[in-house]
Structure 1
Amino acid sequence: MSANITIYSSPYIIITKRDDGYYIQSLKKGLSIDEFQKCLNSHPEIKVTNFAVIKNALVLAPQDPRKFASAKERISIEVSGDELRAYITVNVGPQEILGTEIIKEVVLELNRKGVVYGIKKDVLLSLVAGKTVLIAEGEPPQNGSDSKNRLYQIKEAKPEIKEDGTADHYDLNLINMVQVGEWLGEKIHATSGKEGKTVYGNPIKPMPGKDYPIFFDRKTVKAVEEEGKTTLYAMRKGAVYFSGDSIGVSNHLELSDNVGVKTGNVDFDGYLTVKGTIEDNYIVSTTNDIEVLGEYGVGSCKEINSREGNIYIRGGIAGKGKTVIKCKKNLYIKFVADAEIICDGSVHVGFYCLNSNIIAKEVILESLKGQIIGGNITADIRVLAATYGTPSEKRTNIYVKGFDRVALKDSLDNLTEEIEQLKISMNQYKQQISIFNISDAGKSRKSEFEKLNEVYNNIRAELQAKEETRKNIAGYLKVKGEGEITILKKAFPNTYFEIKRIQKEIQTPVLRTSFYYSEGTIKEL
């Protein structure tokens, strides 16, 4: 026969514990629901299963003993789905929770459930009856960090004009020179991460970081493996260049004196720095950028030609009607007099352009001392200078071919789409490369890896070229109308302007204005 244990007694009700659950007997009316709830709160081990029995006992008292609850599990342990947290609820009476025996019982139950790691001892010593608390916490894995690449930064070719009242300087860093052993970049290797652990003591594997390769020309750049890092150093003196994301050191010829009798004409496949000048009647031709750093520039040399790059002449040109300058990209000169210039990019002149014939996308004299005097200037997009012509009314001709703004805008939109597609394609190849474990690869796999790199770099190089073109077109579209001539200070009479074959002869001085083509006519702003 089962034993009845009275766990609560009052003039109104008696609650007893039997083998099959808890029973309530009401003796008389008068006990409210709230007062009964206080009784239940002091006995967290009771789990109500029939609220109707409680209601009848209180409202229809007296009532015979009837079952209204079952016993809760004394110690309930729940583990989170990721197995990183374990929660415990101790369902015992207020007196029992204060004893040391319950702690032993909890420890045994944790062991029985396999919860052995990250047990919180402070929580174990301060258990609260009926309250669910975090009793154990595992350690989440620390995922590895991706590799990080840092490379030598090519300085943007941008002329700096200094006008200090005593001397005019026109400075530009065009060629990025390095010496043997100079730093070119580094790759901080990806890390494997740190293992975590569940409350069951099981290891949790971390996600290793992605390994992105660092690209370089193995003939001119060496990689030195250090702890957790690969560092790139120049293997020769030369000019830094990028092909896609691959860094290299190109051929660079540095002449400490002049191009002249000692050197003869120069035709060089690479970059050229002339610290002196180019003497009269000599020719200089290169594949890449040319710097002429002599303070006084060049005189009547025959020709300077950069087939694929830029040209910078620090001291300017006094061509005496003999000198021809050709370049694929941009030309930067302090001044130009009596010379012919053919440039696929923009011509930037520091201070004056005298009696010269120039053909370029843009001709820009940004200094407030900038003057165009005589000669013929032909630009596709715009011409900008402070002063045009002279008080003596020397004939000065400025032609702007102009452009179709709608067609140029369409070209920009198409280019933007092509760039986005190239970026998607490039990222796809980058992902393939990042998961390629070259250290475990055989010969055929290494060949596949090299092909991936080659395709990636070709896409990157194409992307860079298109981004440069997009930048240029976006700049052209900032021009007013469809061709512009800007006067920062003054245009003198006998200056001839033509934009999109519409002519404007300056007959009286014109101050600070812009002429531009719009809707079939030249407008002024």
Structure 2
Amino acid sequence: MVLVENEFFEVYESLDKIFIRVHKEGFKLKDFETIMKQQRRLKLTSFQTLREALQTPAPEPYEIGIWLPVLVLSISKDSMTVSLQVNDTEDALVRNEAQLNKQIRMIADSMGLRCKLNHVTPEQVINEKNIIVGKGIEPERGADAVLNYFESPVIKPMIREDGRADYFDMNFICEIEENQWLGEKIPATEGESGINVYGEIVTALAGKDASLRYDPNSVYESEEEDRIVLRARHNGVLDISDGTVKLLQHLTIQGDVGIETGNLDFKGSILIKGTVTPGYRVRALGDISIEGNTGVTGAELIESIAGDVNIRGGIFGNHTMVVRAGKNIYAKHANDVLLEAMEDIYISNYAMGSNLVAQNVYLDEHRGKIIGGETSVTQSIKVAYAGNPHERRTNLSIVVPDRTERMAEARAFADESEKLKEEYKKREIQVAQLESFYDKMTQEQRFAFENSKQTAATLKKRIIQLDEQIQTVLLSVRMVGQEEISVTKEAYPGTVLQIGKFSSMLKKTTCGSFKIEGGKLNV
């Protein structure tokens, strides 16, 4: 079939191939584009051959392309979609709606397609470049596993009606009873298979699995109906600070710590409903909360190694009592006592004749008082009144850290953290490899596996602690120059303000924000 004939050449189709026989040179290559626009089914496959043919007339024809069919069906890579390509919208076949759809069906049958075909109109062919004429049934992916955990109460102060924060009505300890629900896993589902355009089954992807993270020594799992449930092995206090559900040992004293209990030294958390009587000692790894309204008088020591100390009432230390916390200390008032916190100290009413050591010391900005004693921090002190009208000596000081020493400390923490991270990565890979076999494990193997996970979790917790310590050190270095002593109401004569090497004893009553400005203390 001759497609184009002129004084220079003839272009013809034979067996769906396109040939050119050149009689005379001089036809410009770029003018061949006009011919291709007129012959929409002509697809050039060798541009170089065409160039040579136009420059070298010869009796023998050159093969330069292919003759496309009017209709072409193409299948997507995933075999889920059939698309229609029309190479000549002017063809009579395209304008005959019945013949158009009949031809599409014939092509689909010849390709082995088994999907339902959409009806196509001539208007669609003219106006739409890509026409979807058939689709398979998509597989439905299974639902991912769902993990739910017990939500422990957030430790935060209650806000009173006057807008002030109450740091003494807080949930420090979340008690858990034996067999109590702690979490659950709704397993992933398999999903539903689909069918591609060839009528073949397409297997559905199962939902993504997930593992419950828990300490097997204090938490166990059981299969209940359509889910796996976590329950407490024993009474304790909930701890999910590192993402792993576990129960710390927890001791509740219904009355007082004294002659009936003796001194307490406990690896978990302690809740004391009453008080700690004079001369007795309480130490715990976790939080210590003393709920008695009368507070504590004359105890020897109250110390939380890694948690908070909350004394709902006040403290009368009799110059001998010491309170220490790995995190924060909360009390209504403090008399003649040493308070040492690795983080902050919060006192509602007053501190009298006491030594306070922390990063920050906060007293109520409207009525909180520091009278006498020594308050030493690394960042800030906020109080309403400092000293008293009788000019009792009251020392408020901020220790400014040495940058070089603190940076060396941060580097030491970073070195330890990097070593632990390498070990944790190895253990994490090992746990991940075994996790896929969890459903096939015996109870003993599961217990060993959970212990391995717990070891990895312990490493991760230590890494987090080190990273937090690094950030604390770096923050203290960045905060150098921002130290502040804020007295919102009155600072009386006899009050000594000191920030780093700069100090001043007040000679008259004043108030305000005291800091280093222009190389000196702005008193």
With structure 2 as the length reference, what TM-score do the two structures score? 0.75
In structure 2, the residue matched to 1:499 is 499
Does 2:488 correspond to 1:485? no
In structure 2, the residue matched to 1:356 is 354
Quick one: structure 1 residues 345 and 506, their matched pair in 2 at CA, closer, same or farther if it must change by over 3 Å? same
- Deviation string 1:378-404 (CA, Å, 9 cap, x unpaired) is 334433322110011111122332213
Quick one: structure 1 residues 279 and 450, their matched pair in 2 at CA, closer, same or farther if it must change by over 3 Å? closer
- Separation in structure 1 between the aligned mates of residue 16 and residue 452 of structure 2, nearest angstrom: 73
Q: Shift in Å at residue 74 of structure 1?
A: 5.9
Q: Shift in Å at residue 80 of structure 1?
A: 2.3
- Deviation string 1:346-365 (CA, Å, 9 cap, x unpaired) is 22212210011233333222
8 A contact 1:438–1:446 mirrored in 2: no
8 A contact 1:124–1:135 mirrored in 2: no
8 A contact 2:291–2:312 mirrored in 1: yes
- Deviation string 1:162-211 (CA, Å, 9 cap, x unpaired) is 5869x988322211222334332233433444434321122334444443
In structure 2, the residue matched to 1:509 is 509
In structure 2, the residue matched to 1:237 is 235
In structure 2, the residue matched to 1:393 is 391
Greater displacement, 82-91 / 381-390:
82-91
- Separation in structure 2 between the aligned mates of residue 131 and residue 328 of structure 1, nearest angstrom: 70
8 A contact 2:96–2:122 mirrored in 1: no
Quick one: structure 1 residues 368 and 472, their matched pair in 2 at CA, closer, same or farther if it must change by over 3 Å? farther
In structure 2, the residue matched to 1:273 is 271
- Separation in structure 2 between the aligned mates of residue 293 and residue 281 of structure 1, nearest angstrom: 19
Q: Shift in Å at residue 145 of structure 1?
A: 5.2
Quick one: structure 1 residues 132 and 377, their matched pair in 2 at CA, closer, same or farther if it must change by over 3 Å? closer
After superposition, residues 172-321 of structure 1 pair within 5 angstroms as 172-226=170-224, 229-242=227-240, 244-321=242-319
In structure 2, the residue matched to 1:120 is 117
8 A contact 2:383–2:488 mirrored in 1: yes
Q: Shift in Å at residue 267 of structure 1?
A: 2.8
8 A contact 2:85–2:131 mirrored in 1: yes
- Separation in structure 1 between the aligned mates of residue 199 and residue 431 of structure 2, nearest angstrom: 36
Does 2:69 correspond to 1:73? yes
Quick one: which amino acid aligns to residue 492 of structure 1?
Y
Does 2:82 correspond to 1:83? no
Quick one: structure 1 residues 86 and 414, their matched pair in 2 at CA, closer, same or farther if it must change by over 3 Å? farther
Q: Shift in Å at residue 293 of structure 1?
A: 0.8
Greater displacement, 439-448 / 79-88:
439-448
- Separation in structure 1 between the aligned mates of residue 80 and residue 154 of structure 2, nearest angstrom: 52
In structure 1, the residue matched to 2:460 is 460
Quick one: structure 1 residues 478 and 273, their matched pair in 2 at CA, closer, same or farther if it must change by over 3 Å? farther
Q: Shift in Å at residue 292 of structure 1?
A: 0.5
| Structure of higher CA gyration radius | 1
3-state SS of paired residue (2:453): helix
Quick one: which amino acid aligns to residue 77 of structure 1?
L
In structure 1, the residue matched to 2:436 is 437
Quick one: structure 1 residues 126 and 135, their matched pair in 2 at CA, closer, same or farther if it must change by over 3 Å? farther
After superposition, residues 108-187 of structure 1 pair within 5 angstroms as 108-117=106-115, 119-123=116-120, 133-144=131-142, 146-160=144-158, 162=160, 170-187=168-185
Bigger fraction of residues in strand: 1
3-state SS of paired residue (1:276): coil
Quick one: which amino acid aligns to residue 87 of structure 1?
S
3-state SS of paired residue (1:329): coil
- Separation in structure 2 between the aligned mates of residue 268 and residue 300 of structure 1, nearest angstrom: 21
In structure 1, the residue matched to 2:8 is none
Quick one: structure 1 residues 364 and 405, their matched pair in 2 at CA, closer, same or farther if it must change by over 3 Å? farther
Quick one: structure 1 residues 482 and 408, their matched pair in 2 at CA, closer, same or farther if it must change by over 3 Å? farther
8 A contact 1:288–1:307 mirrored in 2: yes
- Deviation string 1:55-106 (CA, Å, 9 cap, x unpaired) is xxxxxxxxxxxxxx99753653222233222223578954796475665554
Greater displacement, 84-93 / 386-395:
84-93
Q: Shift in Å at residue 494 of structure 1?
A: 0.8
8 A contact 2:503–2:521 mirrored in 1: no
Q: Calculate the aligned-residue CA RMSD, in Å.
A: 4.7
3-state SS of paired residue (1:464): helix
Quick one: which amino acid aligns to residue 73 of structure 1?
P
Q: Shift in Å at residue 156 of structure 1?
A: 4.9
- Separation in structure 1 between the aligned mates of residue 422 and residue 204 of structure 2, nearest angstrom: 28
Quick one: which amino acid aligns to residue 515 of structure 2?
F
- What residue ranges of structure 1 are gaps of 5+ in the alignment? 5-15, 23-35, 50-68
- What residue ranges of structure 2 are gaps of 5+ in the alignment? 2-11, 19-33, 46-64
- Separation in structure 2 between the aligned mates of residue 287 and residue 448 of structure 1, nearest angstrom: 26
Quick one: structure 1 residues 259 and 17, their matched pair in 2 at CA, closer, same or farther if it must change by over 3 Å? closer
3-state SS of paired residue (2:382): strand
Quick one: structure 1 residues 232 and 78, their matched pair in 2 at CA, closer, same or farther if it must change by over 3 Å? same
Quick one: which amino acid aligns to residue 236 of structure 1?
H
- Separation in structure 2 between the aligned mates of residue 426 and residue 123 of structure 1, nearest angstrom: 60
8 A contact 1:375–1:396 mirrored in 2: yes
